Structure 1
């Protein structure tokens, strides 16, 4: 019999919160990508899409995302 994981990334609340935040990042990235005409906003859109996609994928898999791996920030 396997033991339940004690990592916070495997808890239901962490996964739901990560999925909601990831969906918001993806939506924001799509909005910026579709309305931007300069290079800098397109770079920001790519970052938002990348982080949002990683948050969604991590929530689906139950693992820590890139934002969760950088540790606590000051």
Structure 2
């Protein structure tokens, strides 16, 4: 048993996990499907996704994902 589980039991705590996922492909002919499926299977509460070139610096969805984690 993990320490966090022992603490939850001892103090009768309910902990809600926030799982954020980020999926990206670099070309429009690539598919996000496998990444999205894996993130859904992992139980992500929110998934941010992008299709854009790796050359671009402004990854809006990545910025939103990171902002959500703060």
Instruction: Give the TM interval when normalised to the shorter protein.
Output: under 0.3
Of Structure 1 and Structure 2, which has the larger fraction of its residues in helix? 1
TM-score, with normalisation over the residues of structure 2? 0.27
Q: Decide which structure has greater strand share.
A: 2
TM-score, scaled to structure 1: 0.27
Q: Please tell me whether Structure 1 or Structure 2 has the larger radius of gyration of its CA atoms.
A: 2
